Amino acid sequence: MVEFLEEDVDLRANTQHFFDYVSAYAITLEAKRLQQVGCFLATECKVAIDNGFKGELLATDYDRDRLDFLKSAYEETEYAKIVFKHQDLEAPKVDDFTGVDLLVAQAVFSNIQPETMNDLFQCIAQSDIKCVLIGDVYTKETLGFGPMTLSSVRSPNDRNWFHPYMQLAHRNGFEAFYLPDFMYSSFRVARGIFVLHRGISSSVHSEAAKLASERYINRQEIIWKVYSALNIDRHWQKGDIKRAQSQ
């Protein structure tokens, strides 16, 4: 984690369109509080700040050491406004989402057991959250609305799960739609953006899509410069990304 921070990664080089939608919805919804579940490096919150979001930012994770590290690492930067807080997604509570308008989760929910997903979505439904952006893997059997018995599917390659996010949304009072996404592993597993929403007009969705598309188009050059220089079949080494960005 320290070495990755030292790479001074340009967040514009990320291949995933998901992050464009994070900042676009944060701004278009005029969210008072954006919550990112699952921290890694708090990239979602950082992208929102970089794109002018002025609301509150909360990044939650189960790993207290990671939270302490990130808080210290960012305390004298423009990301110092991010509030870091412990959260156990395996034991969800409505209070975990107090005051949150926009909830974002990138490659997090696929780590959670199916029975816990039902509890988690029930808590989200009881909160004031208007929009949930999920960036995650899926398979044909979990994509769509389907019958109410549509269930999660265990990944054959790891310990993750493919969850029926749009159906979970409908079960809990949210509307939902799907958008395609892309990253280095996309030739091995499908990845998408699931937009879960309630009480949001179509004009807001259209404006968010416009902002997200503009940002994605504007960063195309650096996306593909870095993408072409990296190899998913070779373990990342310190200096790889920095060299790719400087080409």
- For residues 205-217, one letter each, b for 16 or more C-beta atoms within 10 angstroms of the residue's C-beta and e for the rest, the string is bebbbebbeebbe
List pLDDT tens digits, range 99-146: 999 999 999 999 999 999 999 999 999 999 999 999 999 999 998 887
Q: Which residue has the tokens 């990301």?
A: 79
- Between 10 and 37, residue with greater pLDDT: 37
Listed by start position, the domains of the chain span 2-245
> Residue 8 gets which letter from DSSP?
T
- Which of the four pLDDT bands, split at 50, 70 and 90, describes residue 226? confident
> 213-222 contacts: CB < 8 A, separation 24 or more?
213/20, 215/20, 215/23, 215/24, 215/51, 216/17, 216/20, 219/12, 219/13, 222/10, 222/12, 222/13
Q: What is the mean pLDDT of residues 150-164?
A: 89
Residue type, 214: E
Instruction: Write down the pTM of the prediction.
Output: 0.94
CATH topology of domain 2-245: Rossmann fold (3.40.50)
Alpha-helical segments (H) within 29-156: 43-50, 64-74, 114-126
| pLDDT of 148 higher than 90 | no
